[in-house]
Structure 1
């Protein structure tokens, strides 16, 4: 009998925010797989679950997802991971692939899910709490209220033009992967006439060096940094 692949969001950083469903599946899985950008790299998601899940006796598998700018290199890397996962599923092993936040939000897992299903294997996506939801809660801010709109964007490619277009027509903008783009975001807000006080930075949410507060261009932020811009402050 073939195993089943689970894509599990473990939340933004605080292990106490991992869902009951995620904990149950992680307890029962024979294999825990986690994504890394470089071989031997610490897996943040793995460190989170180790505080709630006993992984001794489980097979822990590192999956390398290359950040090479060459799209073909990244595709080959994903194909190798899919082959590896399917090989373990053929052995009847249930695999829990863990990811930070929610599986459906900029997650490496979603590159694999459809391909694995298309090969005839069963998969399940298990949601987690996204970092921007936790950050907004910490800041006491609504992401949307009334008839307001919301956009979620990534600054991984430093595409500030995309953010500017969103600001023109969207009430609230969540900018993920923003740690290296704080100055660009601040300058864009200036061009659009939006006060910096309308921006809230959520950095390394749920981790020891967490920061939730105003956007300060001279502050150093952690890798997991998101900015929430609210055009209207209620």
Structure 2
């Protein structure tokens, strides 16, 4: 039985190589073999471009894995099976593999699915996930928007769930992050216009990349084509909130305890 290498998912952040963590950078420089995702053979990889902009030389033996952009279940199943089989084949050499992940490897990432299928094929394979900066966290920082304060609530969903679901979530959450908004930009803008939320929403495309675009006047986006790597941050400051349960002790009891501790330490 071969001694398998470790499979490592290295989060690179959404586009700015300065957001690559020290842990991910160390692994990339450690001599592990690189794997990176593409949508079709010989296409450029956005994840690979993040590393390249950071100044790291791309190893000669770096290898692409193809993950086609389709909803055809048969095509997807075959592609995932090929990617997992090739990964297992490489791991059987005993050398660690690092899979390059744009954004965060635990959030809407291909790495989680790849790792799961690999472990189904070879349960003894060790898997490490290196966390990173998500696209929506970077977008909030870039635009100066606070995603949630104190007791506020936050939802993060793919926009593909549709305007009906989005409309409902706006009543339940203070901030709603909509990912991959490309196919529904006009419909979402119309919804936000009806609800009077255009002024508290913004659109961010390719955050952290050299061609990052931030649009606060969402009405100007109607009829435009959005990049696949685009999202919206939507805030509903008029949302009605229910009463919160603060725990077992009352505020009065908590203050009394603090005063007692302060007296004892004096």
Q: TM-score, normalised by structure 1?
A: 0.92
Residues 215/154 of structure 1: CA separation in 2 closer, same or farther (3 Å cut): farther
* Structure 2: stretches of 5+ with no match in the other structure: 239-266
Moved over 4 A (4+): none
Secondary structure in 2 matching 1:75: helix
1:186 matched residue in structure 2: 189
Where is the strand percentage greater, Structure 1 or Structure 2?
Answer: 1
* Structure 1: stretches of 5+ with no match in the other structure: none
Question: Which sits farther off after the overlay, 179-188 or 5-14?
Answer: 179-188
Q: RMSD over aligned Cα, in angstroms? A: 1.7
Give the Cα separation in 1 of the matches to 2:156 and 2:54: 30
Give the Cα separation in 2 of the matches to 1:164 and 1:31: 45
Cα distance, 1:179 vs structure 2: 2.7
1:226 matched residue in structure 2: 231
Write out per-residue CA displacement over residues 86-109 of structure 1, whole angstroms, 9 at most, x where no aligned residue. 000001121110111101111111
Secondary structure in 1 matching 2:182: coil
Question: Which sits farther off after the overlay, 194-203 or 51-60?
Answer: 51-60
Which residue of 12, 17, 21 corresponds with 1:19? 21
Pair 1:44-2:46 in alignment: yes
Cα pair 2:52 2:58 within 8 Å, conserved = no
Pair 1:121-2:116 in alignment: no
Cα pair 2:204 2:231 within 8 Å, conserved = yes
Where is the helix percentage greater, Structure 1 or Structure 2?
Answer: 2
Question: How many residues of Structure 1 are paired with residues of Structure 2 in the alignment?
Answer: 231
Write out per-residue CA displacement over residues 111-140 of structure 1, whole angstroms, 9 at most, x where no aligned residue. 111222332201101111011111111111
Secondary structure in 2 matching 1:143: coil
Secondary structure in 2 matching 1:28: coil
Give the Cα separation in 1 of the matches to 2:97 and 2:145: 37
2:253 matched residue in structure 1: none
Greater Rg, structure 1 or structure 2? 2
Give the Cα separation in 2 of the matches to 1:228 and 1:215: 13
Cα pair 2:197 2:235 within 8 Å, conserved = no
2:210 matched residue in structure 1: 208
Pair 1:83-2:88 in alignment: no
Give the Cα separation in 2 of the matches to 1:58 and 1:106: 29
Residues 11/56 of structure 1: CA separation in 2 closer, same or farther (3 Å cut): closer
Cα pair 1:3 1:91 within 8 Å, conserved = yes
2:135 matched residue in structure 1: 131
Q: TM-score, normalised by structure 2?
A: 0.81
Give the Cα separation in 1 of the matches to 2:131 and 2:26: 13
Question: Which sits farther off after the overlay, 70-79 or 87-96?
Answer: 70-79
Cα pair 2:11 2:24 within 8 Å, conserved = yes
Pair 1:151-2:155 in alignment: yes
